Amino acid sequence: INSFGLQTVVAPLSSTSNLLVRPNVIPTDYQQIPMELWSEQYVRDFIFDKKLDTMILLTENMNGSELYELWELCQIPQERWPMFDRLSKELEQRYKQTLPISVYVRFLHQISKHFNVSSVL
């Protein structure tokens, strides 16, 4: 409480701004572990390591098995572009950002590459 009898409230930084902070050094320990066993931190490391920074907002609090499930949904041929639209819309509505097609395609490719799965776009 200050001299005017008012209490000063300090609002914490939004978690969104913290999510977007690219670490100076990105650990690559995730590469040694099956994706289904990744922690939320390993998912973040993967996203930053593969320069998919925009996806960090869409994968917030996801672990590896949840990330894998998202990727699987995107692999269904008739769902690939509707999923892009859904993710893009979520990013726009929640964070006022756009999801570049190039990031979405690289996201699919990098996870496919992680599994050595050939994916026809």
Domain ranges of the chain: 27-115
Asked if 108 and 77 count as a contact pair (C-beta separation under 8 A), the reply is no
Share of the chain above pLDDT 90, in %: 74
Phi and psi angles of residue 7, each rounded to the nearest 5 degrees, phi first: -90, 135
Entry pTM? 0.78
Burial class for 13, CB neighbours closer than 10 Å (0-12, 13-18, 19+): exposed
Region 57-82: what's the mean pLDDT?
Answer: 96
What pLDDT sits at residue 23? 87
Per-residue confidence band for 17, with pLDDT thresholds at 50, 70 and 90: low
pLDDT digits (tens, 9 = 90+) for 73-100: 999 999 999 999 999 999 999 999 999 9
Which residue, among 114, 105, 109, 107, has the nearest Cα to 30 in the 3D structure? Answer: 114
